[in-house]
Amino acid sequence: MALDPTHLSYPKRRYGMDHDRYDWSMLSERPKIRWPGDKPLALWVNVCLQFFPLDQQGKPYKVPGGMTMPYPDLRHYSLRDYGNRVGLFRVLKALDRYNITPTFAVNTELAVRTPYLVTLLKERQHEIICHGWNMDCLHYNGMTEQDERGLIQRSLDSLRELSGQAIDGWLSPARNESERTPGLLAEQGIRYLCDWVNDDMPYPLHTHNKPLWAMPLSTELEDAFILGNNLHSEASYLEQVTDSCDFLLQEASQQGGRMLALNIHPWLLGQPHRIGYLERLLDYLSSQAIWSASASTILDTFSAQQPSST
C-alpha cells in the first residue's frame, strides 16, 4: 500500500533531524577541537552514587538496577548500599593511583541520608552533578509540569545547599525524561544534560527556555550495561573500553580531539572480584595520550572553541 501523500509533506521532514531539539551536523565536519597539552582524547569518568528505595513505586516502570524481588528485597537493596559503604573507597583509591579526575553524579536523597559522602567529595574538591532525587523518582510525560518542576527544584536546591557547589550538570535517573525535562532543567540553572547518548562530543540542545549542552555519557561503555544488561565478562568490559580508546585516538589524529566518557557504579566495579579490572583499565588509559578532567572543565574547554558559544 502506498504511503499517504501527507506523509511526505510532514512539516519538519528535512535533511538531518525531524525535530528542533538540536541542529544537524556531521561529527567529521565540525571544527577540530584541541584539548589542553595538545592531548587528542579527553577522558570523562562519571561515578554514580545512587539511592534505590527499598519500597520502590516503579512509576512509570521499575527502574533498571532497582528492586526485583518481593518486598523487602534486602539482597538487592544491600548490594546497592555496598557501593556507597565499601566499593566507593576502592574506586577512589584506584582513581587516585592513576591520577584520574572523576565527576560524581549523586542522587540528592543519598546526599541527605549520608552527608558524610558529600563531605568526602567536598574535601576532595570533586565536581558533583545532580542524579535526580533518587533512582525511583523518574521524569516522564505522565507527570504534570508542576510536579516535575517541583521535583527538579527540590533535587537541585537540596544538593546545592549540601554540597556548596553551583551544580550545573544533570543526569536523570535511568536517563528518563519527559518532553519538558530539558527546558525545566535550563530554567533551574542547569548548563549541561548527560541523558542523550547520540554523539561522541558535546552539542547544543534547544529548549523553550534557555539553551543547554548535551554531554553524551556513553551507555554502550557503561559498566551496568556491559556487565548487568549484556552479561559480558569483566575481561570483555576491559577490552571494549580499551578498544574504544584506541579507536577514538586514531580518529582524533585525523579529525581533532575526541571525548571518551565512562559511566561507572561502585556497587559493580567496587566489588573485590572486579576492582582489579578497573585498575587495569585505568592503568591502560593513563598510559595513553589522554587529558583527564571533570565534565564541566571538558565542556568549558570545548565550548570556548565553538564559533558561537552557548
- Per-residue tens of pLDDT for the chain, all 310 residues: 676 777 667 777 777 777 889 998 899 999 999 999 999 999 999 999 999 999 999 999 999 999 999 999 999 999 999 999 999 999 999 999 999 999 999 999 999 999 999 999 999 999 999 999 999 999 999 999 999 999 999 999 999 999 999 999 999 999 999 999 999 999 999 999 999 999 999 999 999 888 899 999 999 999 999 999 999 999 999 999 999 999 999 999 999 999 999 999 999 999 999 999 999 999 999 999 999 999 999 999 999 999 864 4
Q: Looking at residue 165, which CATH number applies to its domain?
A: 3.20.20.370
Strands 290-292 and 41-49: parallel
Query: What pLDDT is stored for residue 12 in this prediction?
Result: 74
Any domain includes 247:
yes
C-alpha cell at 238: 576491559
Place of cell 506523509: 7
Any domain includes 145:
yes
Structural domains counted in the chain: 1
pTM, 2 dp = 0.94
Instruction: Select from 260, 61, 44 the least CA-distant residue to 174.
Output: 61
Any domain includes 20:
no
Residues 6+ apart with CB under 8 A from 29: none
Any domain includes 249:
yes
Query: What pLDDT is stored for residue 19 in this prediction?
Result: 82
How many helices (H) and strands (E) are present in the chain, helices listed first? 12, 9
Q: Is the dihedral of CA 24, 194, 202, 168 positive or negative?
A: positive
Q: Is the dihedral of CA 26, 28, 31, 32 positive or negative?
A: positive
Any domain includes 104:
yes
Residues 6+ apart with CB under 8 A from 133: 107, 108, 109, 151, 154, 155, 173
| d(C-alpha 194, C-alpha 111), whole Å | 20
The phi, psi pair for 280, rounded to 5°, reads -65, -35
| d(C-alpha 307, C-alpha 310), whole Å | 10
The phi, psi pair for 159, rounded to 5°, reads -70, -35
Any domain includes 92:
yes
Name the packing angle between helices 115-123 and 145-163 (round to 10°). 60
Domain range for 199: 39-303
